[in-house]
Chains A and B, each alone.
Chain A
Amino acid sequence: MSDIREKCTKVMSKVFEVDASRINDETSPDSLPQWDSLGHVQMVLGLEKMFSIKISPEEGIDLETFKMIVDCIEKKTEN
């Protein structure tokens, strides 16, 4: 597992209080009831802190699956 995936899993696992083994590429608000609107904000803030990046509210709207999150962080942490 890449470092980014591992860290994203760690943030989500902590925010949503689920075992890391339950998180995969397809994980979304549909498969994880804890991933509601407030959970989403906490997750985004957790990711910002973990990777020292900024995710604007508009960018946050499009983070609908674990895979989308990893792709977004990879782009933001390039270089």
Chain B
Amino acid sequence: MGFMYYKKLDKLLSQSIYGLKSEDKYPVFIDAVLEVTRHHYEKCKPYRRFCEKRMFNPDSFSTLDDLTYLPTSLFKDVLLLSVPEDEVFREIKSSATSTGRSSRIGLDKETSRRQSKCFNKVVLDRIGDDRREFIVLDESSSLGKGSVVTARSSTIRSLLFCSSEAHTCIVEENGQLRLDENKLDTLLKMAEKNPGNFIIFGFTFILYIHVIQKLLESGKKYELAGAKILHIGGWKKLESAKVTPEKLVSDCCEVLGVLKEDIVDFYGFTEQAGLIYPTCEEGVRHTPVWADVIVRDPLSLRSLPIREEGLLQFITPIQTSYPGHSVLTEDVGYIIGVDECSCGRKGKTFKVVGRAEKAEVRGCGDIMGDKFA
């Protein structure tokens, strides 16, 4: 079957990622969201039933606040689809959580390609359009192939599109993970010769607990000014270890000698795979032209004004194979401002401060942390 043509979505995706002011972005954005919402309403029966129960009809919505949202728990166990099942060529499963239930996301080729393009554009905007060597804080099998992939290996593989080479430095022994300290030392010494050509990538918990903290303890230091550190996924365990994002940044600078603005913390979640929110040079996250964020009160679920903390809801029309276009997460955060960040990027700026208290531990870094010896 040929690809569907989403005229308004295509128009949205052709806009500058962070170049539009709100008054220019929202007319184009809402048009595309409406187009895609209608598609899901027509093609995905469970989504339609969900909307009907909430008295929501795509033809009656006027503001993004009206758009019904699916909680992330709805993606667990059941594969929600807005395309025939035989068009799903890849399924992504989130990291297994403490309850053992992971989210299931079905991608057709069109959605997968669209997500990749959006992801790649955001990454390049943040780290620059150069091919670099990657030091991946993971094991080599995470770079493997397969039709059902874990979110963890999918994330790593997605990022390697801008690599010239990828090195790994974690080994698996008897089902447990272990950092190969000698190999990491060799790789970091190699990177010292031309730091600008290197990216160190890892899940947040692994980066801090198994690399930075160990280097702090050993007193080893490196001179890597110009190298970039990218990390993603799962702050819950670091919170319990009393490690704040600010501490992570200052400790990385101290032991690796990298510059503060070159440490990039990516936020994203499986239910909207392809959407990624890196911290900018000022340390905050921006919505690209194809996404929006709303903060909701955890009890009343009404939307909250700027600076007030609540649950984060993300809206994006980039998925057409499943109704992941409006998702209420269990992550807590707040909006800082709109179109006014001094880094120059437009869009809403926001901070993610943690997970709701009753939320399960999830996030690749946290789950992977359990596997360390």
Contact = CB atoms under 8 A, between A and B. Distances in A.
A45 B161 CA distance: 11
Contact of A41 (B124, B129, B163): B163
Interface in A38-54: 38, 40-41, 45, 54
Q: Is the interface of B mostly helix, strand, loop or mixed?
A: helix
B160 interface: yes
Interface in A56-73: 56-58, 60-61, 64
B49 interface: no
Given A57-B124, A57-B130, A58-B129, A38 B117 contact: no
A60 B130 contact: no
Interface residues on A, range: 10 to 19
B129 A56 contact: yes
B120 interface: yes
B149 to A, nearest CB: 10
Interface residues of B, number: 19
Interface in B110-168: 113, 116-117, 120-121, 124, 129-131, 143, 145, 157-158, 160-164
A40 B131 contact: no
B38 interface: no
Given A37-B157, A37-B158, A61 B117 contact: yes
- Could you tell me the dominant secondary structure of chain A's interface residues? helix
Contacts of A54: 131
B109 interface: yes
Contact of B161 (A29, A30, A60, A64): A60
A27 B258 CA distance: 42
Given A37-B157, A37-B161, A30 B109 contact: yes
Interface of A: 29-30, 36-38, 40-41, 45, 54, 56-58, 60-61, 64
24 contacts: A29-B109, A29-B113, A36-B157, A37-B116, A37-B158, A37-B161, A38-B160, A40-B161, A41-B161, A41-B163, A45-B164, A54-B131, A56-B130, A57-B120, A57-B129, A57-B161, A57-B162, A58-B120, A58-B121, A58-B129, A60-B161, A61-B117, A61-B121, A64-B113
Given A29-B109, A37-B158, A57-B161, 11 more contacts: A37-B160, A37-B161, A41-B161, A45-B164, A54-B131, A57-B120, A57-B124, A57-B162, A58-B120, A60-B161, A64-B113
